[in-house]
Amino acid sequence: MPRLLVRRPSPRLAEGELTHIERVPVDADLALQQWEQYVDVYRSRGWEVIDIAPADEHADGVFVEDAVVMFGDVAVVTRPGADSRRGEIETARATLEGAGIPYLQIAEPGTLDGGDVLKVGRTVYVGRTLRTNDAGIAQLGDLLSPRGWNVVAVPVSKVLHLKSGVTALPDGTIIGYEPLVDDPRFYPTFEGVPEEHGTAVVVLDEHTVLMSSDAPETAERFRARGLEVVTTPISEFEKLEGCVTCLSVRVRD
Q: How many CB atoms lie within 10 A of CB 85?
A: 23
Extended beta strands in the chain, E state: 3-6, 48-51, 68-71, 74-77, 103-105, 117-120, 123-128, 150-155, 166-168, 174-176, 190-192, 201-205, 208-212, 228-232, 249-251
Euclidean distance between CA atoms 190 and 182, whole angstroms: 12
Residue in 161, 197, 207, 243 annotated catalytic: 161
CA 172 to chain centroid: 16
Asked about 246 being catalytic, the answer comes back as yes
Q: Which of 58, 197, 243, 246 is catalytic?
A: 246
Q: Is 119 strand, coil or helix?
A: strand
SS3 67: coil
Is 84:58 a contact under the CB 8 Å cutoff?
yes
Q: How far apart are CA 4 and CA 44, in angstroms?
A: 12
Please state, in angstroms and rounded to a whole number, the distance separating the CA atoms of residues 73 and 54: 24
- What is the DSSP code string of 10-35? PTTGGG---SSS------HHHHHHHH
Catalytic-residue membership of 161: yes
Q: Would you name the residues annotated as active-site residues? A: 161, 246
